[in-house]
Amino acid sequence: MTTTTRTLASATLGFVASLAFAAPARADGSYSPEYSFCGAPGATPRNNVAVNNLFFVDTNGVPMTAAPNPFPTLTGEAVWPDSTTVPVEFEDYGDGSVGFWYVSPVAGEHVVTLYADGVPLENCILEATAYAPDPAFTYASGTGTVDLTTGNPVIITIHSMDSNNHHFTYGNNPPTVTITRGNDTVNHVLFDNLDGTYTVPYTPTHNGSYEVEILLDGQHIQGSPFHLVAN
């Protein structure tokens, strides 16, 4: 009977010990380049800021809730197939995560790579995409695109559209607008409304024929050039 009691006690102690051994590891101050990871990249409008996050994970595989100590030197770059390269900027949130961002100067697929102390983070080599408005679907409307009355101010509104014929709702992708009467250029200003539309007010000051040319990435938008007459 005594032997049985000792055996049960030993088994109980062994079971408790195994539970203690299996308890979840707690985060320490050292991050793991192998376990740390980045959020999934999304599609970003050209000339706008792409934002993402880096999440530090410690050497036990536990997500960190404070900044690593020591904190690594973070660098990064986004590279396009034509060798266009832009740097990545960082902000430490102090909770085990870091925000990072960059501006996509051109449209298309590209690769974003983050480095910690000069070593690539294998879970932060990301394939990303930047998209731009499509001149084939972008169009113009307003009183400045139909026949004119001399001396009356008019407005052109340019509506950016993407390749799926959906409204491109971001700014910073302005078209090039040229308004002429014969050999004379008509003064005008283009306003970026930062919602994918652009406004161009102008006044035809003389009778005669006018031409309005609207180019996006060097290509005419729908209906361009517009041939107008002011009377």
Give me the residue spans of the domains in the chain: 37-131, 139-230
**pLDDT of 28:** 57
- The set of residues, in sequence order, having a beta carbon less than 8 Å from that of 159 and lying 6+ positions away, is 138, 139, 140, 141, 167, 196, 197
Mean pLDDT of all residues in the chain?
89
Per CATH, the number for 139-230 is 2.60.40.10
Topology alike, domains 37-131 and 139-230 = yes
User: Is 37-131 a CATH 2.60.40.10 domain?
Assistant: yes
**Distinct helix (H) and strand (E) counts, the chain:** 1, 18
Residue 61 CA from chain centroid, whole number: 29
9-42 tens-digit pLDDT: 444 334 333 333 333 444 457 899 999 999 999 8
Tokens of residue 137, six digits: 């679907």
Q: Is the peptide bond before 81 cis (omega within 30 degrees of 0)?
A: no
Asked if residues 150 and 230 have their Cβ atoms less than 8 Å apart, the reply is yes
207-226 tens-digit pLDDT: 999 999 999 999 999 999 99
- The set of residues, in sequence order, having a beta carbon less than 8 Å from that of 219 and lying 6+ positions away, is 135, 136
Asked if residues 204 and 152 have their Cβ atoms less than 8 Å apart, the reply is yes
42-76 tens-digit pLDDT: 899 999 999 999 999 999 999 999 999 999 999 99
Q: What are phi and psi of 224, to 5 degrees?
A: -80, 140
Q: What angle do CA 143, 172, 132 make, to 5 degrees?
A: 95
Average pLDDT estimate for 95-117: 97
- DSSP code, position 70: S
Average pLDDT estimate for 155-176: 96
Q: What percent of the chain has pLDDT over 70?
A: 88
Q: What percent of the chain has pLDDT over 90?
A: 86
* Nearest of 87, 81, 84 to residue 101 by alpha carbon: 87
Lowest mean per-residue pLDDT among 16-20, 85-89, 102-106, 173-177: 16-20
**pLDDT of 1:** 37
Average pLDDT estimate for 145-168: 96
